[in-house]
Amino acid sequence: MATKIFVNLPVKDLNKSVEFFTKLGYTFNPQFTDENATCMIISEENFVMLIVEPFFKTFIKKEICDSTKSTESLIALSAESKEEVQEIVRKAMAAGAKKNIDPQDHGFMYEESFQDLDGHIWSYFYMDMSAMPQQ
């Protein structure tokens, strides 16, 4: 059985976060959705749990990072093409995301990123392994 990953992110407003990520094309597992959290499906083995802050606090002893001021992580997801990267970022910006940094084109890899409604940084990249420099 393949290892699954569940990234857990605190959010201020679950409904607004669901609306935002729905506009990017993501779906949610209703079995793991209630007023406290939802399970966003990235792929068959990758999921993001969006958890309202008061409930998120029940899982930790430390304070929740204010991701609008500090970076707690970079969530990087692969895409099938440069155009797919550009399209998802375009959708995110139209849905209320904020620009993170300028697009990065390394020849073999193209990357763009944005901050979601809670300030979490999402990076989408396309990597062309045939164009990767040989070492």
Which pLDDT score, from 0 to 100, does residue 1 have?
A: 76
Fold equal for 1-60 and 71-135 = yes
pLDDT tens digits, 17-53? 999 999 999 999 999 999 999 999 999 999 999 999 9
Paired residues of 115 in beta bridges: 98, 121
CATH class of the structural domain 71-135: alpha beta
Residue 106 tokens read as: 């390394």
Domain map (residue ranges) of the chain = 1-60, 71-135
Cα of first residue to Cα of last residue in the chain, in angstroms, is 33
The model's pTM: 0.90
Cα–Cα distance between 45 and 96 in angstroms, integer?
Answer: 27
pLDDT tens digits, 90-99? 999 999 999 9
Split at pLDDT 50, 70, 90, the class of 106 is very high
